Amino acid sequence: MGLVNGVFGGTKRSTKRLVPLFVIKRITMQKQKKATSGCVLRRAYCAAFSPRFGTQQSGKPHRGFLSRRELMSSVAAAAAFTIVPRHVLARSGQSPPSEKLNIAGIGIGGRGAGDLDEVGSENIVALCDVDEKYAAGVFKQYPKAKKYCDFRVMLDKEGKNIDAVVIATPDHSHAVIAMTAIKLGKHVYCEKPLTHSIWEARQLTEAARKAKVATQLGNQGQASEATRLVCEFIRAGAIGQVREVHSWCNRYISPRGLDRPKDTPPVPETLDWDLWLGPAPWRPYAKFPDERGELVPYCPFNWRGWWDFGTGVLGDIGCHQLDPIFRALKLGYPTSVEACCSGVNEETAPLASIVRYEFPARGDLPPLTLAWYDGGLMPPRPAELEDGRRFGDADDNLYVGDKGKMLGHRLIPESRSKEYGKPPEVLPRSPGHHKEWLLACKGGKPAGSNFDWAGPLTEVVLLGNIAVRMSQQLYEKGLKLYYDGPNMKVTNLPEANKYIRDQYREGWTL
Amino acid sequence: MKEQKKIFKQQDKKACPERSRRITRRDFMGGAAAAAMAFTIVPRHVLGGPRNVPPSEKLNIASIGAGGMGASNTNACKGENIVALCDVDEDRARETFNAFPNAKKWKDFRKMLDEQKDIDAVIVATPDHVHAVAAMAAMQRGKHVYVQKPLTRTVWEARMLTEAARKYKVATQMGNQGHSGEGVSLICEWIWDGAIGPVRQVDAWTNRPIWPQGIDRPKETQPVPEGLDWDLWIGPSPWRPYHSCYAPFNWRGWWDFGGGALADMACHLLDPVFSALKLGYPSSVEACATKVNNETFPLASIVRLEFPARGDMPPLKLNWYDGGMKPPRPEELEPGRKMTSVVFIGDKGKLMCGEYGDNPRLIPETKMKEYKRPPKTLPRVKGSHEQNWIRACKGGEPACSNFDYSGPMTEAVVMGNLALRRLDQKLLWDGQNMKVTNDDKANEYVRPTYREGWAW
């Protein structure tokens, strides 16, 4: 990201969308010629952080360092827009880097507040939340912003005044909100996971590409130094070929392992329950016991464990934790996945689960098993780890190579880490996760976790939940779940495909 | 020492042809153990001890914990004289009490053993926390014992019972009845035949617990049901008020009384692993689990034991999964075929079997079909697991799962529960000295503290 200015010249760019295609193509070709002339760092960046995900699925194997063009292939056209000088494409309402974006926040009471802080240098022109009470503090923080309860009303009334939206609602409403915004040509920052279902993730990815808006998923770790180090260590061969990665997370995200609550107190006056439900099947507002046994409502906070609204620990954290694994090891869609858990339940995610993905060979990278653990379960402690040293924290990744192991972004044991030192720094560093998106909105290059990257990543994460929900059937039938990624289809257990796409409530469509 | 071992070996063969599979195990057991074991082959009449009951006569058997699983064990021995039945819960034991009208009925096994002098042998099928004190009391009085699995709730208790059985020269058997089945013998023969090459890993899993775990102690109290002596039920464990969440069924989930899924099932599932791979003490253990509290076992856990090389067998990693967790499905397994409870992973193939060592198969099935089975060299147990013990009580060879075998196995099993107390560490284990060498705190869980009046 630090290269944005150096490569692209920095100023006067726009994400202009209404340009005749031939103009763009011509400019693109000129710019690409210039850009590929010997910029090693930039090529490296593209290989590691290109938003093009899972290129092996398109039949093109990875070759380590691909040219930007090869990697970008189908998004090349979209990328091209980013380098068109503003003066050529000028249209009122577009923001060059010198101008501020007009941003609307949707779902602002929780994580949304933090996201808004990160983009607070821009104009926060509108705020939307179905829970007045939860959002009250943030409403107050931005006195000039117009306040809304229904995002559809907001986009309808303020549409012309909004350049970009930040979405931090519960998972089940990400897709309908993001799609509405994309169709209106708004740039979108959406919290992770991108969507509640695989089908939605695919639709958003394609729609964003078509609408040529700047997008970013809220997996801020992708912009970190740690993610770059993981890629650089592995690319430098510090642990040899990697055939096995373990990822675990022991966070408490929400009550889980529960049945549908029977305690249905009246909806608080400050909450629009019907809007909160959005496209999810209707159910009464309710309370249920959390881990301390205290009665809590679905919202705020306690919805993540409920399949109708959230996506469990894997959905919540997977897009963070699996991101560096996918980047460093160039993962695309898996060929198969299997899962086991502490009790399948149609209402909530289990208290603990293990999901095991098998990925095919990718170019010269060997096939890989990725095992995910949550609810306190962990992989075996590696022999390389010194006695008494904590094995990761509540969450971490363990990369098992044929020449060594890496815990998070540190080689183990510590003596090996000291001996090896740092890998060569070949990847450009990020100006910051939210900043990447803001720059992209203003005509910069695509953000590191734009939907071309984050959509497929989310798909794979959510596939794990399908394996969890089908785990008992899979066991009974003696199967792993085989998956056709490009066609979004479980090939050997048709019943599983019901989870690929959610049935929306009447009145809600993508 | 070498010479000594050789002698033991010869003597063993002579005295115990039926269980030659144990002999190899003795080869690698430490010197002290070998010496102690030697005693077991000295004829009883020379050394005194339990009453000599020839095969033509009937044993006088007492049953402690006569309801529940004890009923089934007692029934399997009904060819002998069932002379005493003991249960702290009259209601639960009623059926067994009625089935043996001539047996004397007791509530407190201590009284029974002190007062009723005609008892030769005792079946212990109480909840786990009473196994050790009841079995020890019986053995100290020269009674043969059949003890339900797991032999004990803690490592130290298993060691004490193992040593006591040698000292008092009684016939012992743990209730892992799968050991008397055909499967365990087949697995031994195939693995020793090299069917899957050297084995470096075994994965095992159970769907247990099927009783509540991961919960706190109830705050409300309930009146003790009529007919239940709650204080005796609590036995050596710390006293707490009665609640139906403990007795009669769900005590397995509570630290003070049971051993969770692991203790319930691992003495079955890991039995063929211990036999075929000649396992002794583990060198390390680590566990991970859902939330662990001080009252009940977690809802799900994974326990990973490591064993050092044994003779020409390489070191072994033994992975245990419960609460819905499972190991990876073996790639050799044909689509449409269920993964069963135990998978032996060898350098040259895999072997899969059921919970009790039953139905062993090389996988895939084509490998099984191709496999030229070795001759059945191990003698099979005739009749039931209980009958196998009864023959031992009457001067026959040691029972197939006597404490010299089942004691160390139980120790390794309950090591997993010890590791659950000390998560995020790999505990290094000095088996001979019963000590975790890299975590002092862990050693607090090796031995339980008994309530006053219960220590032996």
The band of A393, judged by pLDDT with boundaries at 50, 70 and 90, is confident
Interface test with chain A among B219, B325, B428, by most A beta carbons within 10 Å: B325
What are the residues of chain A with a beta carbon less than 8 Å away from any beta carbon of chain B? Answer: 257, 291, 338, 340-343, 350-352, 354, 356, 369, 371, 373, 375-378, 380-381, 387-388, 390-391, 475-480, 492
Compute the distance between CA of residue A260 and CA of residue A288 in angstroms, rounded to an integer.
9
Question: What pLDDT, on a 0 to 100 scale, did the predictor assign at position A95?
Answer: 63
DSSP assignment string, A48-104 = HH-S---GGGGT----SS--HHHHHGGGHHHHHHTTSBHHHH--TT---TTSPPEEE
- Phi and psi of A357, rounded to 5°? -100, 140
Domain with CATH 3.30.360 in chain A: 223-254+311-431+458-499
Which CATH number fits the domain that encloses residue B318? 3.30.360
Q: For domain A88-220+434-447, give its CATH number from 3.40.50.720, 3.40.50.300, 3.40.50.920, 3.30.1360.170.
A: 3.40.50.720
Residue of chain B nearest A357, judged by CA positions: B328
Measured distance CA(A263)–CA(A281) in Å, rounded: 18
Give the gap in angstroms from C-alpha A304 to the nearest C-alpha of chain B.
18
Which residues of chain B are under the pLDDT cut of 50?
1-48
Instruction: Tell me: do B138 and B267 sit in the same domain.
Output: no
Does any CB of chain A come closer than 8 Å to the CB of residue B339? yes
Q: How far is CA A439 from CA A53, A208, B161, in A?
A: 21, 17, 73
Residue A215 binned pLDDT confidence (cut-offs 50, 70, 90) = very high
Q: Given B372, B402, B432, which residue is the final one in a domain?
A: B402
Q: What are phi and psi of B351, to 5 degrees?
A: -130, 135
Check pLDDT > 60 for residue A39.
no
Sign of CA dihedral A421, A427, A432, A433: negative
Chain A / chain B CB contacts < 8 angstroms: 85
Say yes or no for a CB contact (<8 Å) between B290 and A381. Answer: no
Residues in A touching B326 (Cβ below 8 Å): 340, 354, 475
Tell me whether residue B229 is in a domain.
Answer: no
pLDDT interval class at A426 (50, 70, 90): very high
Cβ within 8 Å of residue A495, ≥6 positions away: A470, A473
- pLDDT > 60? residue A31: no
Residues of the domain holding B108: 2-177+387-402
| A45-59, A130-144, B129-143: segment of lowest average pLDDT | A45-59
Cβ separation of A387 and B286 shorter than 8 Å?
A: no
Does domain A223-254+311-431+458-499 fall under CATH 3.30.360? My reply is yes
Q: What is the pLDDT of residues A236-255, one digit of tens each?
A: 999 999 999 999 999 888 99
Shortest Cα distance from B13 to chain A (angstroms)? 40
CATH number for position B98: 3.40.50.720
pLDDT tens across A347-383, in order? 999 999 999 999 999 999 999 999 999 999 999 999 9
Contact B380, B18 (CB under 8 A): no
pLDDT confidence of residue B454: 95
B197 in the same domain as B114: no
pLDDT value, residue A94: 53
Length of chain B: 456
Q: Is the pLDDT of residue A96 over 90?
A: no
pLDDT confidence band for A25 (50 / 70 / 90)? very low
Q: Is B243 within the bounds of a domain? A: no
Residue A451 — left, alpha, or beta (φ > 0 → left; ψ -120 to 50 → alpha)? alpha
For A442-464, the pLDDT digits (tens) are 999 999 999 999 999 999 999 99
Q: Is the pLDDT of residue A111 over 90?
A: yes
- Regarding whether B341 and B276 lie in a shared domain, the answer is yes
Contacts of A378 in chain B (CB under 8 A): 288, 302, 424
* Strands B104-106 vs A489-490: parallel, antiparallel or unpaired: unpaired
**Which residues from A are below 8 Å from B338, CB to CB?**
475-476, 478
Whether residue B122 lies inside any domain: the answer is yes
Record: contact B290-A342, CB cut-off 8 A: yes
Could you tell me if B137 and B275 lie in one domain? no
User: Would you say residue B407 lies in a domain?
Assistant: no
Asked if residue B422 and residue B275 are part of one domain, the reply reads yes
pLDDT at position B105: 97
Q: Mutate which of B343, B426, B429 to test chain A, going by most A C-beta atoms within 10 A?
A: B426
Domain count, chain B: 2
How close B398 gets to chain A, by Cα (Å)? 38
Interface membership of B299 toward A (CB under 8 Å): yes
